[in-house]
Chain A
Amino acid sequence: MELDAARPDAARLDIVVSGLASDAHTWNLVYLQLVLEEMGHRVTNLGACVPDGLLTSRCGQAAPDLVVLSSVNGHGFQDARRVIGPLRARLACTPVVVGGKLGVDGTGGHAEALLAAGFDAVFENADAIAAFRGYVERLAAGVRS
C-alpha cells in the first residue's frame, strides 16, 4: 500500500476511530489509525472502552466524514446494535461502519442484523481489512470538492 499524503484536501476524510463500550482492546484501533492515516485521511482515535454517551457526543462535535467502530471482545454485536440508534440521532447521514470479531462464538454472521440496525457496512470476515480499505477508497472518491 502506498503512502498517500498527496491526497487532495477535498478527498481527505475526517474519520473517527473508536472502540465500543465494553471492549478494552486497542491494537485494532492503533492499526486502523495507521491504515487510514497512510491513505491520507485525518483520524481522531477515541481509544478503548468508549461509553455510548461519549461516543455519540464526540462524534456529534467532530462531525466526521466517517465513523469506524471496531470490537474484538465478543460483545461487539450487542454494543454496536445498542449504540447505532443514538449515533444515528446525531449523525443521520454520516457513514458509520463496524468491524472485528463481533460475537463470542467466532462464527460471524452479524452483518445482516447490524446493517438493518443502521450501519452502512460490516467487516467481520477474513478479508475484512482489504474490504474496509476498498470501502474507504470509494467513499473518498465520492467526496465532492
Chain B
Amino acid sequence: MTGGSFGDFVARAAAAGELVVQPRMGVPGPEGMRAGLAAVRGAGVRAAGTITVDSFTRVGDHLAVHQALATGAELNGYPIAAHSPETTRSVLNGLHGADFPVQVRHGSACPQKIVAALLAAGLDATEGGPLSYCLPYSRVPVAESVRAWAESCLLLSDARERGARPHLESFGGCMMGQLCPPSLLVAISVLEGLFFRQHGVDSMSLSYAQQTDPDQDAEAMAALRTLAAEHLSDVDWHVVLYTYMGVFPRTPHGATALLQRSAELAVRTGAERLIVKTTAEAHRIPTVAENVAALVTAGAAAARAEPGGVVEDTGVLAEARALVDAVLDLAPDVGIALVRAVERGYLDVPYCLHQDNAGRTRAFVDGAGRLRWSRTGALPLPAGSAVPAPDPTADELLRSLTHVERAFDRG
C-alpha cells in the first residue's frame, strides 16, 4: 500500500484553495473502523482519515486491551497495537491512498509500539510530541518522553527507505486544551517541529487550537507561520488548526457555531488543515455520522470564508519568539534543550499537574474574552506580558473554563 504522502495531499489541497478537514475517530473493531473511514472518505469534502487509538493502548496497558477485546468491554478507540498488521491493512484496503491519507492519533508519551504498528500496517502519518503528549497526559518524565519520541521519529524516518514520506504533527498547540496562552502554544509547536527535524522527519505539521478570541487566535496563527518559516524552511510543513479543545457548548447550535468559527479562522489565517469537533463533544464520544456531519459543516463554512484581513500585534509573536530563542539557547540538541527548559520553568504550562512541570504560571480569560497570563513564573517573556492577579478560586477557574461554552450556548 503506497498511500502517497500526507504532506503532499495537504499541499495539493492548499494549492487548490481547499481546507483539509479531519475528524477524531476511533472504533474498537476492524469492521467499525473501516466503516468509519469509508464514511469520512465518502463525505463529499476534502478530508483526511483518522484512526484514533484507545486510551489503554496510549498508556501502554496492553493487558487491559486484550482483556477488553476478550470480554467485549468498551474501548474508546482502535487498539492498533493489539490488532495484527494484516487486520489493520484490511481496514485500510481500498480506502487509504494518495487522495485519502490516514493519520493515527494516540496521545502517548512513549509511542514506539504504536508507531511500529502503524508502519507495519502501511501507514506513515501520526502526531504528538515529546512535550505535548507528555506534560498534559502522562506520568512519564520529560527526559524519558524525549528519548521515546527520538526513537519514534527514527522509526518513522526509516520508512523513507520504502518510498514513503512519513509525516508527523506536533500537538504543541493544544496544551491542556484550554487556558494556555497563545505564545506558549506557538513556541511549543515550533520547538517540537525542530525536534522532529533533528531526528530525521522532513514532513511535519504545527498545530494551534482555537482559544477564546478570534483576533487573538489570528495573531497567534500568524506568529506560528512566521516562526515556522524562520526555523523550518528546509522541511515540508503546514499548519493545522484544532476546533476548540476546551469545555464544549452543550447545545447543537452552540457547538455548530463554534465549529464554523474555527473553519473561518482556518481560512482567514491560511491554515491548511482543520481537526473538527462534533455536536456530541460535550456529551460523549461522537458517532461516525456525527463526525461526518461535522466535516460537512466545517467544509461548508470554510468554502464561504475569506482569507486574509487585518491581524493586530498585541505581542504574541514577540512572546513566542522569546520563548523559542531562550529554549534553543539552552543546548545545541533540541531534546536536551526541551528537558532543561522544563526544569528551569522556561516552558511552564499553566495548571499542568505533571511532576516535571514547574507549575508557577497561571492564565485566565479577561473581561474582553482574551486569554492572558496572570503569573509567568520563570518564563523568559518580555516585561509586561502578565496582568498580575490573584490565583483563581474554584468558581473563577470554572468561569474561565466555561467561558466559550457559555458564550456559544447563549448565542
Which A residues lie at the B interface, using CB under 8 A? 1, 3, 21-24, 26-27, 29-31, 34-35, 38, 45, 47-51, 54, 73-75, 77-78, 101, 103-107
Contact = CB atoms under 8 A, between A and B. Distances in A.
B76 interface: yes
A30 B353 contact: yes
Contact of B59 (A1, A49, A77, A107): A49
Interface of chain B: mostly helix, strand, loop or mixed? loop
Contacts of A27: 176-178, 247, 351, 401
A22 B59 CA distance: 6
Contacts of A35: 394
Given A26-B136, A31-B401, A75 B394 contact: no
B394 A38 contact: yes
Contact of B56 (A22, A30, A45, A105): A22
For the complex of A and B, the 3 pairs showing the least CB-CB separation, nearest first, are: A106-B284, A34-B394, A24-B137
Contacts of B398: 31
Interface of B: 55-56, 58-59, 61, 64, 68, 73-76, 107, 136-139, 176-178, 247, 280, 283-285, 351-355, 392-395, 397-398, 401
B76 A75 contact: yes
A47 B138 CA distance: 9
A27 B136 CA distance: 10
A34 B59 contact: no
A48 B394 contact: no
Contact of B284 (A29, A30, A101): A101
Contact of B393 (A38, A49, A51, A106): A38
A22 B58 contact: yes
B351 A75 contact: no
Given A38-B394, A49-B139, A78-B73, A22 B55 contact: yes
A34 B390 CA distance: 14
A26 B246 CA distance: 12
Interface of chain A: mostly helix, strand, loop or mixed? loop
B58 A75 contact: no
Contacts of A49: 59, 137-139
A8 to B, nearest CB: 21
A21 B401 contact: no
Nearest to B283: A106
Given A35-B394, A51-B61, 17 more contacts: A1-B395, A21-B64, A22-B55, A24-B138, A26-B176, A27-B178, A27-B247, A45-B353, A47-B353, A47-B355, A48-B136, A49-B59, A50-B139, A51-B139, A73-B76, A75-B76, A101-B284
A74 B286 CA distance: 12
A49 B135 CA distance: 12
A75 B59 CA distance: 13
B55 A23 contact: yes
Contacts of B177: 27
B171 to A, nearest CB: 12
Contacts of B137: 24, 48-49
B356 to A, nearest CB: 11
Nearest to A37: B394
